[in-house]
Structure 1
């Protein structure tokens, strides 16, 4: 299989798990860092994420896998291989049992198009062997599965490398605008024109070009569901920012499901406060950029 050939050609640290994909697979990303760190989830997200941070030689590989019908069909054979090689499972979960949306955005994931995570269908596993760690993240989109494997070996020695291919975009989505193209390509987009009243969660207008585009995208892709995610700058306390970011996402959802007629069941909301900035918060321009609502695809056909 292509994945096996790529695996054999890739330099791995001594404690690395030697896994073969259980279905036809194409490796689309590979990176080694001689000394780095990786945060490893050791329990379900519930207000916070139980985790440890491992340091050492870090290796990450990503595959696109065809032929599997479920994420468990992909993960289970990989888990069995780890067990056979002496790795002990520390944490193993699926979607809501992991903590859903919050869990996904607390863990380290390579951005699309190399890695795609359906927030309604993913699995995670963390395994340990002596002081070394392996994590697996598996998700799906249409006929493709995506596997991200990250390994940390405190005693490992690797040369710094990074390679990518041109993976296929998740199939089954139709783009009808710039917002839609971002959703098709990366699975997320910023609704940059949404404007809220100062210190409020109320939108200034009753229509926006970004919501026009998002509604058209959802009409063109009737099986797709989304999450609207509110963000704030770093002014003020965490609790207040979490609350207002969620209320602003709720306001955008109300407009999308009301004036634009999108079914409420297709749109969920989350607020993450100031915990996911996209630029620095020490300038007014940076704070303005960080105050935003994003749309994230949570499931596709």
Structure 2
């Protein structure tokens, strides 16, 4: 049983109950729109995402909180409160059962740094009460948890406002190469920090990459594990071009992992998300360099 010692109230409009969060919760983003739409997932992603589009007054809030044990510790008390207030849980899932990577990039998520979603550890819930919908998304980054709540209420009368925290806590810094295996074991993901790309480039030309060697060693020691290599870009250029570049970055890393380090091809899939998942701001050269990256994400240990 989860028994937080200190609590705070998260006030939501009209249809929703006042949700109780740990007292250490810190708001990173609040948005209220008098009339908008929100895509609500009603099932896991397989070849497509089952969903409905809810319309009405939309209120979204993002909170950052020291994580107690896991993402279920964040979600369960909120789910229980919704059910006690008469909300019907329509759909709930965790990570792979949701559809993993594909699910995450089909749903509506507040961009980083206000909200972080670890592709190896997130949970989602959709609930309905009369004509109103509520969705919850929880995840973590290091020892911090993130909670996104979205309420769509056709009957609410609200004014449009947007408020972002002035200085959200940054994500953990890229780990040293020697810590790659430790990061994978602890969080299910790790940045391949020595795979450096110039803006628009997908080339990997160095003779050796310690991060790929460490990843290969980890995979060899854990033969049941499969991974996804996920490519990212900075925010220079258009969305479509950056999606293509990010996919090619991941594919370049996969080719080296298979051909140079002997990892079986069926254990490594690739994805590209363009500039949609930054880990820092894109308005400085240093930030753009940090965002141009490839990450390894554990997709299965069975």
Q: TM range, normalised to the smaller chain? A: 0.5 to 0.7
Could you tell me how far 1:168 is from its partner in structure 2?
1.3
Residues in 2 aligned to 1:21 and 1:233: alpha-carbon distance in whole angstroms: 36
Could you tell me how far 1:37 is from its partner in structure 2?
0.6
Q: 2:127 aligns to what SS in structure 1? A: strand
Change (3 A) 1:74 1:233: closer
Change (3 A) 1:24 1:195: closer
Is 1:142–1:171's contact at 8 Å kept on the other side of the alignment? yes
Change (3 A) 1:193 1:72: same
The answer to whether residue 163 in structure 2 is matched with residue 163 in structure 1 is yes
Residues in 2 aligned to 1:27 and 1:2: alpha-carbon distance in whole angstroms: 16
Could you tell me how far 1:3 is from its partner in structure 2?
7.6
Is 2:246–2:274's contact at 8 Å kept on the other side of the alignment? no
Written as runs of structure 1 = structure 2, the 5 A alignment for 1:239-278 is: 249-255=250-256, 268-271=268-271
Could you tell me how far 1:13 is from its partner in structure 2?
2.8
Change (3 A) 1:81 1:233: closer
Counterpart residue number, 1:283? none
Q: 1:152 aligns to what SS in structure 2? A: strand
Change (3 A) 1:190 1:78: farther
**Structure 2: tracts of 5 or more residues without a match:** 178-188, 216-226, 277-291
Written as runs of structure 1 = structure 2, the 5 A alignment for 1:114-153 is: 114-153=114-153
Could you tell me how far 1:255 is from its partner in structure 2?
2.3
Counterpart residue number, 1:285? none
Is 1:2–1:25's contact at 8 Å kept on the other side of the alignment? no
Written as runs of structure 1 = structure 2, the 5 A alignment for 1:195-214 is: 206-207=205-206
Residues in 2 aligned to 1:97 and 1:117: alpha-carbon distance in whole angstroms: 15
Is 1:2–1:27's contact at 8 Å kept on the other side of the alignment? no
Change (3 A) 1:99 1:226: closer
Counterpart residue number, 2:294? 295
Is 1:34–1:57's contact at 8 Å kept on the other side of the alignment? yes
Residues in 2 aligned to 1:213 and 1:107: alpha-carbon distance in whole angstroms: 35
Is 1:24–1:66's contact at 8 Å kept on the other side of the alignment? yes
Counterpart residue number, 2:8? 4
Is 1:17–1:134's contact at 8 Å kept on the other side of the alignment? no
Change (3 A) 1:16 1:233: closer
Is 1:230–1:271's contact at 8 Å kept on the other side of the alignment? no
| Among 225, 229, 246, the residue aligned to 1:227 | 229
Residues in 2 aligned to 1:170 and 1:29: alpha-carbon distance in whole angstroms: 16
Residues in 2 aligned to 1:115 and 1:41: alpha-carbon distance in whole angstroms: 18
Counterpart residue number, 2:51? 51
Counterpart residue number, 1:31? 31
Change (3 A) 1:161 1:24: same
Change (3 A) 1:151 1:296: farther
With normalisation by structure 1, the TM-score equals 0.66
Could you tell me how far 1:26 is from its partner in structure 2?
1.1
Residues in 1 aligned to 2:262 and 2:144: alpha-carbon distance in whole angstroms: 27
Change (3 A) 1:66 1:278: closer
Aligned residues: 250
Counterpart residue number, 1:92? 92
Residue range with higher mean Cα deviation, 18-27 or 73-82:
18-27
